[in-house]
Amino acid sequence: MNFQLTDEQKLLRESLVGFLQKRYDFDARRAAAANGGWRPEIWAGFADDLGLFGAALSEAEGGFGGGAVETMLIAEELGRALVMEPYLESVVVANALLRGTDAADLREGIVAGTALVVPALYETGGRFEPSVVTVRASGDGPVLDGEKSVVAAAPIATHLLVSAREEAGVSLFLVDAKAAGVSRRDFSLIDGKPASDVTFAAAPATRIGEPGTALPRIERGIDEGIAALCSEAVGVIDAMLARTVDYTKQREQFGVAIASFQALQHRMADMATLLERARSMSVMATLSLGLPVGERRRAVSAAKAFVGDTLKSVGEAAIQLHGGIGTTDDIAVSHYFKRATVMQSQFGTAAYHLKRMGDADAI
């Protein structure tokens, strides 16, 4: 495949890399993880200094004419820097859920960084399956009742995009995160990112789109999120490999750097091979987003399954090659490993997506 970036795409990447090198060093990131996993000044910098949130949107959508490839580039660099801010949830997935609706003002807020909109799509009983929806919408208002589980970035959200069931089927609703009837149980994921279990008790909501038509849009939005997650994973894997190579060049045993040991060289060569294969799968997932639904699902799930297994293999190898020090909080690779562990099950495990690939053949 001849995959060449345009000059504009190269500039986007270079600008983001420069911003992150100046303002997102490991010590600052670790401090943020210990203090809620969120820095408003970084989020504002992404929006105001870089225009990052509109880079992947068409001009008709209020963006700068980009698309899925721009999202891929951004997500990879955010993964490489281990960024905690919810670009994936609030920009990628939320924008996909709002596309084609009359929520133009809200999308403008997302691009400007003033609205932090978080999808709340999964429930305990459905695990990774978004079609399992027990939250109910009722009344002319309407109001929502029920619970969504492990809603990433909910503690810092301004709005929630909630899937709920009504008589016509599954619909999508916008809920003010501070509205009466909305309560949260907040916690941190093992990678330090904030999340919540969110309960709705007669919570006022606004329907987005036509009643009962939301499920295909939700599935499409999740696929866009998975493609971006795979790109972020490439950045995480690349960083783990680079830090492992650097460490083995510095660590000495028997008077020589352990990087000179042939067995370890083979191990790191295997890690590099997996990285390049994961990169190819990420590109495939990104370029599949415009395909018919069955082909899109098959490609995205294939990428997620492979990338999930690669995160596990490379992460475990990185920790092993670092030795005991690799598990300590002071060493960056331990934080990459924690993020890699969360990403393996985010939007579904490898086993779930292998099954989804088979189900896509029937579409």
**Residue 62 pLDDT exceeds 80:** no
Per-residue pLDDT, 164: 98
**Residue 212 pLDDT exceeds 90:** yes
Amino acid at 353: H
Per-residue pLDDT, 2: 58
**Mean pLDDT along residues 180-184:** 97
Per-residue pLDDT, 103: 87
**Residue 3 pLDDT exceeds 80:** no
pLDDT band, very low/low/confident/very high, at 73 (cuts 50, 70, 90): very high
Amino acid at 272: A
Amino acid at 94: A
| Contacts of 250 by beta carbon, 8 Å cutoff, 6+ apart | 257
| Contacts of 112 by beta carbon, 8 Å cutoff, 6+ apart | 47, 53
Q: What is the mean pLDDT of the chain?
A: 94
**Residue 55 pLDDT exceeds 60:** yes
**Residue 9 pLDDT exceeds 80:** yes
Per-residue pLDDT, 1: 53
DSSP symbol at 197? E
pLDDT digits (tens, 9 = 90+) for 227-245: 999 999 999 999 999 999 9
**Residue 359 pLDDT exceeds 90:** no
pLDDT digits (tens, 9 = 90+) for 78-128: 999 999 999 999 999 999 999 988 888 899 999 999 999 999 999 998 889
pLDDT band, very low/low/confident/very high, at 36 (cuts 50, 70, 90): confident
Tokens 């992947």, residue?
A: 56
Domains of the chain: 7-112 (1.10.540.10), 117-213 (2.40.110.10), 215-360 (1.20.140.10)
DSSP symbol at 93? I
Taking each helix axis from N to C end, the angle separating 262-287 and 68-80, rounded to the nearest 10 degrees, works out to: 150
Q: Angle at the Cα of 4 (from 3 to 5), degrees rounded to 5?
A: 125
Tokens read off for 258: 């352990």
How far is the C-alpha of 57 from the C-alpha of 114, rounded, in Å?
17
How far is the C-alpha of 72 from the C-alpha of 227, rounded, in Å?
8
pLDDT digits (tens, 9 = 90+) for 247-272: 999 998 888 998 999 999 999 999 99
Residue 25, number of CB atoms within 10 A of its CB:
11
pLDDT band, very low/low/confident/very high, at 362 (cuts 50, 70, 90): low
State percent of the chain over pLDDT 70: 99
pTM over 0.85: yes
Per-residue pLDDT, 60: 78
pLDDT digits (tens, 9 = 90+) for 133-167: 999 999 988 999 999 999 999 999 999 999 999 99
Per-residue pLDDT, 279: 97
CA-to-CA separations, 305 to 64, 141, 223, 359, in angstroms, rounded: 32, 41, 13, 14
- Are the CB atoms for 78 and 232 separated by under 8 Å? yes
DSSP string, 146-168: EEEEEEETGGG-SEEEEEEEETT
pLDDT digits (tens, 9 = 90+) for 267-318: 999 999 999 999 999 999 999 999 999 999 999 999 999 999 999 999 999 9
Looking at the chain, the number of H-run helices and the number of E-run strands are 12, 10
